[in-house]
Structure 1
Amino acid sequence: MLFAMLSMGSSFCFLYINSVLLFTLRSKQVFCETSRYILLYNLLFADTTHLLSNLLLYLLASLRIRITYYACGALVLFSVFTATISPLTLAVMSLERYVAVCYPLRHATIFTMRSTGMAIALVWAFSFIHILIRLFMLLYVFTKIYLNLHLNDFCSKEAIFFAPIFDDFEEAYANTVFIFVGVAIIASYTGVALVARSASTDKASAKKALHTLLLHLIQLSLILISTLFSIIIVDIARTVERLSLMRVYNVCFVCLSILPRCLSALIYGLRDQTIRPVLMQNLCCGWRCSVFLNKSQ
């Protein structure tokens, strides 16, 4: 119960911060008309919805509530769908930072409202195609084996994608996506690092972009590790008893499932000079932080 309370408490805490940051990104016109903030909103929206779906799955498992296969399948597919959006959006955000530092005069013409919207639409379309492939694979498996509509265990990704074909697809898809996104982030980081050495470059802006890209790479690594969540739990389940397994599950849930989806709020909400004052004021419900900020000024 203690581990469960810690997991739930941290989940709701990060969920509150993400929700406030989402509200903040729609509170001012500058956030709605700037490409980097539009991309951040898309990333944060996907992370928050993924956190909600994972939290619901966790509650169902903790309370030992068993649902039908179809309801579990819809919930798991939605969780997988939102999880796919984050790494792809990180790649687009890294390219945006690269263009902003390396080609500042062309940034406004390359990352317009239209092009940013098209990039987001492509990310969502790619994620939707990924879910369609999984759905067709499920239908194929259903034609080969008998399906019990009532799950014998709690709802989870492993309970839905139980056939070996899903493991092969998961490995191939994860490797392809994370290699592509990793190359995009590393290439952007290398380009910004080379440009930062020139005398005509804004050193402060380039240094800040380098730190952001490095944090993107760390965030991508954590998301990649989170895809191995089920593999880690299955391997540990073979060697430890159930009580110890549940403790490990709670720790892995916080570190591998919750934390990677909350870094966006920490990376941008606390580091960005435009977002931070508004975010702090909204987090404190307006009046307390405004008094603090006025005193500090």
Structure 2
Amino acid sequence: MSYATQSQINITVGLRFSERVMLSTLSSLPCCIFFFINGTMLFILRSTLVFRETSRYVLLYNLIFADTVQMALSQLLYLLSVSRIMLTYPVCGFLVMLANLTNEVSPLTLVVMSLERYVAVCYPLRHATIITIRNTAVAIIMVWAFCSLNVLTRVLLLLDFPFEDLESLKMTDFCNTLVMFLGPVSDLYDKAYTGFLFASAGVAVTSSYIGVMVAARSASTDKASARKARSTLLLHLVQLCLSLCSTIHNPVLLFLSRIVTRIVLVRIQNVFYLLIIILPRCLSALIYGLRDQTIRPILTYNLCYLCYLCH
């Protein structure tokens, strides 16, 4: 997916050193805050026994872990671009493929989490036998395996490029996914796969939501549980839409580059980068950390304690 690892289109060329330092600082500060929140959530989910033995919290850990790695890689590529550091094709390819891997794990994990909520509401008596820790682990392994297979396909497509004709393996452009689409087949595959992934994920989450809505009208369904599940599924849809919105990040910037000045485009791009690329990576920790009655007091305590130590 080109949106997550495309840190910068080459509009930083010509900026003064002070401007580049300012851009790096403005993007790094929110990232540090989000890393702090995500890291705290990951620590809580792994250090508390009840969270390690509950399927939905195990899935949440997987989602936040993938988002955190993706955020780190996006920020790394951003800083490399702002610093005008050129990588070699193998190094850039490794970073891009790893970013693609973690980025694709998120929507698929949201699908599994939505199905878990659907089973919890529509089949409450069978939930404990269907949604077990073992089955959850199998689902997570399948998600990572499917995404890894896609990354392997991308690598095989890259092998068709005649690297031996290049004078040097050092790149002449900043590292990003668009640069790594070294042929029309790679670009076409990326668009087709992205469309298939989000269409499938959208159908799965929407179907789960409709199923919960229908079940909520049944007299035998726990109304409070159904209402909470419905709200959770709506949040999953919002998260999925934010990821989908990220796919138009590059096309919008390319369009704006034709009608606005360079400095205006730089400012717009940094706002887009923070709101569309970085912020959604922290939403899972914030949403579940604040909404979940079990996590909220532990998260608040840990954040306050860590802030106290920092001071």
What TM-score, normalized by structure 2, do the two folds share? 0.88
Secondary structure of the corresponding residue to residue 26 of structure 1: helix
Note the C-alpha offset of 1:148: 4.1
Residues 253-281 of structure 1: CA deviation (Å, up to 9, x unaligned)? 11111122111112211100011111111
From 89, 95, 105, the equivalent of 1:85 is: 105
Cα shift readout 1:89-146 (whole Å, capped 9, x = no counterpart): 0000000000011111101100111110110000000000010010001111236964
Q: Distance in 2 between matches of 1:253 and 1:4?
A: 12
Alignment counterpart, residue 74 of structure 1, candidates 74, 83, 94: 94
Counterpart of 1:231 (choices 214, 236, 251) is 251
Question: Could you say which residue in structure 2 is the equivalent of 1:17?
Answer: 37
CA distance in 1, matches of 2:120, 2:297: 23
Letter in 2 for 1:124: W
Q: In the alignment, is residue 140 of structure 1 matched against residue 160 of structure 2? A: yes
Q: The residue matched to 1:141 in structure 2 has which SS?
A: coil
Partners of 2:125 and 2:300 in 1: how far apart? 32
**CA displacement 1:184-232 (0-9 Å, x = unmatched):** 1011000111111223322211111111100100100111121332232
Cα distance, 1:15–1:147 mapped onto 2, change above 3 Å: farther
Residue of structure 1 equivalent to 2:67: 47
| 1:287 Cα deviation after fit | 9.5
| 1: CA distance, partners of 2:260 / 2:185 | 27
Equivalences for 1:75-224 in 2 at 5 Å?
Answer: 75-142=95-162, 146=166, 148-224=168-244
Q: Distance in 1 between matches of 2:148 and 2:168?
A: 27
1:55 counterpart letter in structure 2 = Q
Deviation at 1:79, TM superposition (A): 0.7
Q: Counterpart of 2:96 in 1: which secondary structure?
A: helix
Asked if structure 2 preserves the Cα contact closer than 8 Å seen for 1:281 and 1:287, the reply is no
Q: Aligned residues, how many?
A: 288
CA deviation after TM superposition for structure 1 residue 12, in Å: 1.3
1:196–1:207: 8 Å Cα contact kept in structure 2?
Answer: yes
Over 3 Å counting, the alpha-carbon distance change for 1:242 and 1:28 in structure 2 is same
2:160 match: secondary structure: helix
- Where 1:105 maps in the other structure, the secondary structure is coil
SS in 2 for 1:149: coil
Question: Following the alignment from structure 1 to structure 2, what is the Cα–Cα distance between the partners of residues 68 and 287?
Answer: 40
Letter in 2 for 1:244: V
Q: CA deviation at 1:162?
A: 4.1
Structure 1 residue 26 displacement after superposition: 1.0
The higher-RCO structure (CA 8 Å, 6+ apart) is 2
| Cα contact 1:50–1:82 (8 A) shared by 2 | yes
CA distance in 2 between partners of 1:287 and 1:237 (Å): 41
Secondary structure at 1:201 match in 2: coil
SS at 2:269 equivalent: helix
Kindly state the Cα deviation for residue 27 of structure 1 after the two structures are TM-superposed.
Answer: 1.7
Closer/same/farther in 2, CA of residues 97 and 238 from structure 1, 3 Å limit: same
Question: 1: CA distance between counterparts of 2:110 and 2:168?
Answer: 39
